[in-house]
């Protein structure tokens, strides 16, 4: 079973002003994704998702040219071999670094889809796992910078839908962040877990200001207060209070996670399967985190492919943490890309994997054709 063709499919949709959310990385104006379609010489077709990197056309071009030429003709079942070839040629030396990691992630997910078809198994089973409930929190492009009362109303809606944990977007001023967290805690009570995400927009002094209030509100984690390379800031912030730090969605490959784990400043590990190197690398990262007695709590990306794949992944590791539920008010990539929704939330705030071959979804080619790439930034 040889790889006969690889094609990137960048897709976009505009976000209406009344559905836009503001957070630490800006105001959302459109949503992007890069799908990866792999075809074998015996007719199998696998689908993956590469994170768009806020420049989906560039990621797609990298896949369609360089990456395609590197692995055409490989055995489609030799996922580790394909991974190693791309890593050696495009990430380890004189390559595209982070962009190549994003592109490789989509290719890797598509190859696992083909492996599942060949084995006639659900992904979780091929990875050695079993179908089981995975606890979820309300996340995605939601719960952003708005008036505290409006944020509390939104939080209560998600609790009403069954979520037992919520992730608020912070990274504004310390005073506004504290007011929002306090308003939500007052509204939802003590039984709901509150997590916060600064989207790398804090300084160490900001953390010093917000930490006492976050402790008072029993915040479960402070996610990505700083860019991933700012190890000194993470080390300083870890000493400022009892709210644990979370990070990983912008760490690429197990080698960057090795440094993160060795530093010991982060308590929750958050690889994104569409960023860090796909399923193959995320399984390695999960094993490394397990050796450090830490859970994996993946960041989820734009479409049903990544979301459903992430649930299967969490069912196959021995240290699953939270699944990030996408409660974005408008996301057709979640709702309409496939023949069914990527997940449903149960009464206990958990999700379970779809049965069937692979991730249990059938991709709608007509939907893809209706959402061509829109150039430009997705946040402003």
What does pLDDT average to over the chain? 97
Residue that has been written with the tokens 């059938």 in this structure: 362
Q: Residues 235, 257: contact at Cβ < 8 Å?
A: no
pLDDT band, very low/low/confident/very high, at 91 (cuts 50, 70, 90): very high
pLDDT (0 to 100) of residue 289: 98
Reported as a single tens digit per residue, the pLDDT across 14-53 is 999 999 999 999 999 999 999 999 999 999 999 999 999 9
> E strands, 95-140, where?
134-139
Mean pLDDT across 307-314: 98
Could you tell me which CATH number the domain at 3-120 has? 3.30.390.10
Kindly state the tokens that stand for 342.
Answer: 């990527």
| pTM score, whole prediction | 0.98
pLDDT at 198: 98
CA distance 308 to 298: 12
CATH of the domain spanning 125-359: 3.20.20.120
Residue 120: band (very low, low, confident or very high) from pLDDT cuts 50, 70, 90: very high
**Continuous segment of H or E residues that includes residue 27:** strand 26-27
Give per-residue pLDDT as tens, 342-356.
999 999 999 999 999
pLDDT for position 267: 98
Euclidean distance between CA atoms 21 and 168, whole angstroms: 12
Q: Are 24 and 200 in contact (CB under 8 A)?
A: yes
| Residue 297 confidence (pLDDT) | 98
CA distance 206 to 343: 36
Give the model's pLDDT for residue 131.
97
Could you give the CA distance from residue 313 to residue 35 in angstroms, rounded to a whole number?
Answer: 19
Q: What is the pLDDT of residue 351?
A: 98
3-state secondary structure of 158: helix
Only one residue has tokens 């060949």, namely 118
Residue 109 CA to residue 127 CA, distance in Å, equals: 12
Region 90-116: what's the mean pLDDT?
Answer: 96
| Tokens linked to 162 | 């069954």
pLDDT number for residue 135: 98
Domain boundaries of the chain, sorted by first residue: 3-120, 125-359
Q: What is the band of 378 on the pLDDT scale with cuts at 50, 70, 90?
A: very high
What CA–CA distance (Å, rounded) separates 130 from 135?
A: 15
């Amino acid at each position: 079973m040889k790889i006969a063709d690889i094609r990137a499919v960048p897709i976009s949709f505009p976000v209406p002003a009344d559905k836009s959310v503001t957070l630490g990385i800006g105001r959302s104006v459109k949503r992007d994704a890069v799908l990866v379609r792999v075809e074998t010489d015996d007719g199998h077709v696998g689908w993956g998702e590469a994170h768009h990197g806020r420049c989906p056309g560039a990621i797609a071009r990298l896949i369609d040219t360089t990456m395609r030429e590197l692995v055409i003709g490989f055995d489609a079942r030799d996922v580790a071999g394909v991974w190693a070839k791309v890593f050696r040629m495009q990430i380890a030396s004189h390559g595209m670094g982070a962009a190549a990691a994003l592109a490789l992630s989509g290719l890797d997910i598509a190859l696992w889809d083909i492996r599942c078809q060949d084995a006639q198994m659900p992904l979780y089973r091929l990875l050695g796992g079993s179908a089981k409930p995975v606890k979820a929190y309300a996340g995605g492009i939601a719960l952003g910078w708005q008036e505290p009362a409006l944020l509390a109303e939104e939080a209560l809606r998600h609790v009403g839908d069954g979520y037992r944990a919520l992730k608020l977007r912070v990274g504004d001023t310390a005073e506004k962040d504290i007011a929002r967290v306090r308003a939500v805690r007052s509204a939802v009570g003590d039984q709901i877990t509150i997590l916060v995400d600064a989207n790398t927009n804090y300084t160490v002094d900001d953390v010093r200001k917000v930490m006492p209030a976050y402790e008072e509100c029993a915040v479960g984690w402070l996610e990505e207060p700083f860019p991933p390379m700012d190890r000194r800031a993470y080390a300083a912030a870890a000493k400022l209070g009892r709210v644990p730090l979370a990070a990983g969605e912008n760490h690429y490959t197990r080698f960057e996670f090795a440094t993160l784990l060795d530093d010991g400043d982060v308590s929750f590990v958050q690889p994104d399967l569409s960023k860090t190197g796909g399923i193959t690398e995320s399984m390695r990262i999960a094993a490394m985190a397990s050796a450090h007695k830490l859970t994996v709590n993946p960041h989820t990306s734009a479409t049903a492919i990544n979301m459903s794949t992430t649930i299967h992944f969490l069912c196959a590791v021995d240290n699953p943490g939270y699944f990030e539920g996408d409660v974005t008010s408008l996301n057709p990539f979640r709702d309409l890309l496939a023949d069914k929704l990527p997940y449903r939330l149960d009464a206990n705030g958990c999700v379970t994997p779809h049965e069937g071959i692979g991730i249990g979804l059938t991709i709608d080619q007509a939907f893809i054709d209706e959402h061509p790439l829109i150039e430009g930034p997705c946040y402003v």
